Amino acid sequence: MNIIVNTMPVAFEAGDSVLVALQRAGLHPNRGGCLCAAGDCPHCLATVNGVAYVRTCQTLAQPGMIVESFPTDDYPHLPTNTQRGPTVSARNLHCDVVVIGMGESGQVAAAAATAAGKSVITLDDKVGQEVVGIYPELMVVARTSAGMLHIHAHDEVVVATGAAEIQPVAPGNHLRGIVTPRAAAHLAAKGVALGRVVVVESGDAVDLSASPTLNIIAHLKGQVLQFEGLDTLQAVVVLDENGHSQRIECDTAVVWLGLTPRDLLVRMAAGLKVRAVGDAAREADLPPCPDAGMVCSCSNVSAADLQRVWDQGFHEMELVKRATLVGTGPCQGVVCVPHMRSFLATRTAAADSSANPDIARLSKVQAPFTARPVVRQLTLGEVAAGAHHHATPRTGLDAEHRRLGAVMDRIGGWWRPWHYGNPLAEYWAVREAVSIGDVSTLGKIIVSGPDALAFLERLYPTKVSSIAVGRSRYVLILDERGYVMDDGLICKDSDTRYTLTFTSGGSSHAEMWLRDWAEGWNMDVRILNQTMSLGAINVTGPLATQLLQRAGLTQPYKFMQHGHASIADVPCRVYRLSFTGEVSYELHHPVDQSAKLWRTLMTLGADLGIRPHGLQTLLQLRLEKGHVIVGQDTDFDSTPRRIGMEWALRMDKADFLGKPAIERTNKTVLDKQLVGFEMPAPAPFEGANIMHEGEYVGYVTSSTYSPVLGKVVMLGWLKLVNGTLPSEVMIDGRPARRVDVPFYDKEGARAKA
Amino acid sequence: MPKLNYLPFTRIVATPAALDVTIWPTEALALRTAADEVLLLSSAPPTLVDPHAIVVPDSGFVGAWLPAEAVQAIFEQHCEWALPATRSVFVQGAVAGIAAKLWLEAERGLLIVPAAYGHDFAERTGLA
C-alpha cells in the first residue's frame, strides 16, 4: 500500500500514521523541527488530499492519499480552485457532561458522572474525535471523519487531555532529527530507524528501556546548547549537569524538558462550567530561558525577537503575543508558551522593578494567554457545518414565476421576479391592456379591538376617524422624530377593525412597531401579521376591470374602495387602488391558492393581451407617477416636507406620533427637497450627482426612461440655492430640468377611471 | 421522506385571558404560539369570549407529520436545541436556520414552517 508524497509513492503498513510512513521512508512532512507525534506541535503539518495544515501524526495513512510536504521556505499555499468543496454535515447531541480525553483521568471522570446519574458523552482524539473548541452555552465542537459534532452539555465539560512534552529551543532546533521521548518510543515501536540517538533531559524522567531497538549512544542530564547540521541533525552540543559542554555526533536527539498541560480548551472557556482533570490540570514545568533559537516556528518568532519586543516595552504575555504573533499559529502556543513564560519570568526577575513600576506589578511567572477557538485548522466546509445562510422567503407564486422564465432576484427581503424576458412588452401591457403582478410581499397586518381607532389615530398622521368602512387611505408612517419610516394603506374593515399595509421590506419592523406602541400606550387591540399568509396579485391596466368581471367580480369598485369577492373561485379581498397609474385591483387571497388564481387570470385575459409584469416594470410605472419608494427615495432624515408630501399630514389633529418634531422642524428653513427631473435618454444611473453652476447640489434616487413620455424621468434630492430650488441642473454631465410630479397623467384620470 | 403540505389552520389572536379559558373543539389541535395567539387545526370553530378576537383561516404554513425517529434525525442534524423529553408537547425555534414549530407526540410529530420558507426548509432537511 502506498501514499503519494510529492508525486512519489511511499509504502505504509496498516495502522501507520502518515508521519510514521514518511519517517520510515526517511522523509519529513515539514521543513523540520522537533517531532512530538502526539498532535501537539506544528512540525509534522503537511497538505493531505488538498487540505493544508493537516497533522500527519494524527492522520491514518490510506492508499492513494496525496501528501504534499511544506515548501522549505514558505507556508503551504491554500487551494485556489473555485469548485465548491464537499459539504460537511454537523450532528447535534445533548448530554449532561462531556468528557474530553479518555486517558486514565478521563475515564475516572466519565465513570463518576455516570454513577451520579448524568448522561455522558466522551470524546477522544485517539479514535478520531478532535475537539476544536468550546463555545458559550457549553457547546463542544469536534471533528470526526463522519463530519462535525456539536455537543451541547447541560452541566459541565471535563477536559482530560493530558499534558504535552515541552520542546527544545536552541540554535538549530529547526533541523530534522529532533524528537521528544514519547515520539522516539512511538517511532521506534513502528519500526522507524532513528540511527544514533542521544538523549538529553533536565531530570530523571526519560525511560526508553521499552524501546530496545533504539541505538542510544549517550543519555545525559543537562541542557542542549546547540543542534548542528544542515537540514538534518548531525551533532548536538550539550551543557551537562557538571557544567561541561560536550559535542556528540548523532542522527537523532531525544530531548526532555518537562510537561505543559494541554489546557487550551480550558483557557478558552472562562466563565463556563469547564474544568481540567489529571495532567491537563497540572502545573506547567518551566524550561530554561531561551536565549537563542526558534521559539515559535508557526509564526517564525525567535528568541532574539522576544528580546527585541521586551526591549521595546512589551512585558506581558498578551502584549508579547500581539507584538510578535507568537502563539497564534497552528499549534496555538503549545510549543512556544512555556518558553515565553520562562523568558518573561527571567527578564522580569532581572529587571530593576523599582525603576519600572510596569514590570513591578507583573507576577513572576505569568499565566498563559487566553485561548480562543478553534485549536485545530478547519476547512471552510467544517467551519460552516450545521450553519445555514439567511433564507429568503418566496411567495406562493415563486414556482410560477420560474416556470414562466422570470429573472428572479432578492428584492425587499423576498425572491421576486425582475422581469419575464421582455420588460418593454410588460410595460405596454399595463399601459394599454392588462397585466398581473405578484405583490404578495406587501406587509398586511390586522388591528382589531375597542381601542383600534384610538391607537391608529395616535400612530398615523392622517385623520383615521374620517375613513369610512370599506374605504382605504394612503398614509405615511413617521417615527418620533418626524422622519418617514414607511408608507402604506389604512383600510377600514369595521369600526373596531382595520387592515394596514406596509412596504415589502417594512412589514416585520412594522409589526414590532405596532406591538411596541400598543403595549406602551396600553391599548386594547389585537394584532395579526398576515404578510406570509396571504398572497396578493395586482391586476392593472385599462382592461383590468373587464378581466375581473370575467373572473367573477360582480360589483364595480370605486378608487380606494375595498371589499370581499370570489375571483376565479378564490376568496379574495379586493382593493381598488393604483401604484402603476392605471386602474388597479389588488387581490389578497389565501397563499395556497395563488397559483390557481394567477393561472386563471392569465387564461381569461389571453385575448385581452395579458402579460405578467415584473418589478422592473413596476418601478418604471410608479416613477412615471412620481410615487416615492421609502428607503430608495427617502433618506434617514426625510420629513414629509422634504419629500413634498405634507398633504399626507393632518396637523390639526390633537396629536400623532412625530407631530412635535414636525412642528419643530417646520420652523427651520427648508434646505433640500425630493423633486422630479426630466432629460433626454439615456437614463443616468441611480445615485448620479446633480450639479448646478459647477457645484454639487444633490443626487438622483430613481431614474428610468419613460416609454410613454419618450424621455427620462427621475426623482432626486436637490439642495436649495439662495432659498430656491434650481430649475436647470446638470446630471451625468448633461442638462436636466426640474419638473413637477407626477410626470404622467397628472390628474390621475387613468387610475380613477 | 414525507412532503411538506399546506396546513388548513385557523389563526386566532385574542386576549391571553380569553385564550386561557377557551374550550377547543374535540379532536382539535390547538397550538399556543404566543400568549395572544393560537394556531388551530380543526374542522369546527372555537367559541371565544373575546368579541374582538381575530379569527381567520390561514394557509400560510406548511408542514408534515413525521415519525418520531425522523423528527429526532432532523433535529440532530439541523437544530442546536434539544427535543423536550415530555410528550405531547409543542415547541418553537430555529430548525435548519428557519423559524419552525413542532407538535410532538409519542410516536410522531407535526413539523411546521411558514410556507414562504418551505422551499428552503425542504431543501435543507430533505422533506422534498
On the 0-12 / 13-18 / 19+ scale of CB atoms within 10 A, A678 is: middle
A533 touching B, CB under 8 A?
A: yes
CATH number of the domain enclosing A18: 3.10.20.30
pLDDT reading at A81 higher than 70: no
The percentage of residues in chain A with a pLDDT greater than 90, rounded to a whole number, is 91
Task: Give exposure, B100-111, as e/b (b: 16+ Cβ within 10 Å).
Answer: bbbbbeeeebbb
Q: Look at residue A85 and tell me whether its pLDDT is greater than 80.
A: no
ipTM: 0.97
How many structural domains compose chain A?
7
Cβ pair A391:B97 closer than 8 A: yes
Tell me the CB-side half-sphere exposure of residue A221, using CA atoms within 13 A.
7
Same domain, A122 and A264: yes
Q: Report the pLDDT value the prediction gives residue A79, as an integer from 0 to 100.
A: 65
pLDDT digits (tens, 9 = 90+) for A198-215: 999 988 888 999 999 999
How many CB atoms within 10 Å of residue A201? 18
Q: What is the pLDDT of residues A281-330, one digit of tens each?
A: 999 999 999 999 999 999 999 999 999 999 999 999 999 999 999 999 99
Find residue A177's DSSP bridge partners: none
In A562-644, where do the E strands start and end?
562-567, 570-577, 584-590, 611-612
Beta strands A407-411 and A301-302 are unpaired
CB distance B15–A526 less than 8 Å? yes
Q: String of b and e for A559-598 (b: at least 16 CB within 10 Å)?
A: ebbbeebebbebebbbbbbbbbbbbbbbbbbbbbbbbebb
Three-class SS state of A120: strand
* pLDDT given for residue B127 in this prediction: 85
Asked, for residue A744, whether it belongs to a domain, the answer is no
Q: Length of chain B, please?
A: 128
| Distance separating alpha carbons of residues A71 and A29, to the nearest angstrom | 10
Residue A715 backbone zone (phi > 0: left; psi -120 to 50: alpha; other: beta):
beta
Helix crossing, A544-551 with A594-604: angle to 10°? 110
Nearest-CA distance A299 → chain B (Å): 36
Mean pLDDT of A59-81: 82
Q: Is the peptide bond before A67 cis (omega within 30 degrees of 0)?
A: no
The answer to whether residue A242 is domain-embedded is: yes
Asked if B120 lies within 8 A of A448 by C-beta distance, the reply is no
A509 and A552 in one domain?
A: no
A-to-B residue pairs, Cβ atoms closer than 8 angstroms = 101
User: Cis peptide leading into A682, omega within 30 of 0?
Assistant: yes
Domain boundaries defined on chain B: 7-58, 61-125
Q: Are residues A479 and A413 in the same domain?
A: no
Largest Cα span, chain A: 111
Q: Domain check: are A243 and A359 in the same one? A: no
Are residues A525 and A602 both part of a single domain?
no
Residue with cell 425587499: A412
For residues A610 and A631, membership in a common domain is answered with no
User: In the numeric block, which cell numbers belong to residue A243?
Assistant: 557544567
**Residue A184 near residue A196, CB atoms below 8 Å:** no
Same domain, A709 and A630: yes
Section A450-472 average pLDDT: 98
Q: B59 at the A interface (CB within 8 A)? A: yes
Q: How many angstroms separate the CA atoms of A720 and A671, rounded?
A: 6
A156: in domain: yes
Average per-residue pLDDT for chain A: 95
Question: Contact A290/A301 with Cβ under 8 angstroms?
Answer: no
Q: Which of B50, B54, B77 sits opposite A90 (nearest CB)?
A: B77
The CATH number covering residue A321 comes to 1.10.10.1100
If pLDDT is split at 50, 70 and 90, which confidence band does A66 have? very high
Q: At what angle are helices A303-311 and A317-324 packed, to 10 degrees? A: 110
- Secondary structure E strands in A147-292: 147-159, 163-165, 178-179, 196-201, 215-229, 233-240, 245-249, 252-256, 259-261, 274-276
Residues A274 and A161 in one domain: yes
Taking 70 as the threshold, does the pLDDT of residue A331 lie above it? yes
Longest dimension (CA), chain B: 44
- How do the pLDDT tens digits run along chain B, 128 residues long? 679 999 999 999 999 999 999 999 989 999 999 999 999 999 888 899 999 999 999 999 999 999 999 999 999 999 999 999 999 999 999 999 999 999 999 999 999 999 999 999 999 998 86
Is residue A138 very low, low, confident or very high in pLDDT (cuts 50, 70, 90)? very high
Domain-located, residue A424:
yes
A329 domain residue, yes or no? yes
From chain A, the residues in CB contact with B121 under 8 A are: 391
Q: Which residues on chain A are in Cβ contact (under 8 Å) with B6?
A: 591-592
Q: Binning pLDDT at 50, 70 and 90, where does residue A395 land?
A: very high
Is it the case that residue A80 has pLDDT exceeding 70? no
Do A375 and A308 belong to one domain?
yes
Which of chain B's residues have a Cβ under 8 Å away from the Cβ of A121?
none
Spell out which residues of chain A touch residue B77, defining contact as CB-CB under 8 Å: 89-92, 386
> Do A698 and A588 share a structural domain?
no
Q: Does A74 reside within a domain?
A: no
Orientation of helix B118-125 relative to helix B68-78, angle to 10°? 90
Asked if residue A82 has pLDDT above 70, the reply is no
Chain B residue with CA closest to A524: the answer is B15
pLDDT tens, residue by residue, A416-449: 999 999 999 999 999 999 999 999 999 999 999 9
pLDDT at A21: 97
Best to test chain B binding among A94, A388, A593 (most B CBs inside 10 Å): A388
Tell me which residue range forms the domain holding A50.
2-68
Residues 6+ apart with CB under 8 A from A86: A381
Residue A81 lies in a domain: no
Domain CATH for A615: 3.30.1360.120
B 60-89 residues with CB < 8 A to A: 60-61, 75-82
Residue A599, φ and ψ in degrees, nearest 5: -65, -40
Whether residue A630 is found in the same domain as residue A730: yes
Best probe of the B interface among A87, A88, A91, A92, by most B CBs < 10 A, is: A92
Tell me the sheet residues that pair with B103. B90, B110
Q: Looking at the partner chain, which of A388, A591, A593 has a beta carbon nearest the beta carbon of B97?
A: A388
In this predicted model, what pLDDT tens digit does every residue of A592-613 receive, in sequence order? 999 999 999 999 999 999 999 9
**A568 plus A432 within the same structural domain:** yes
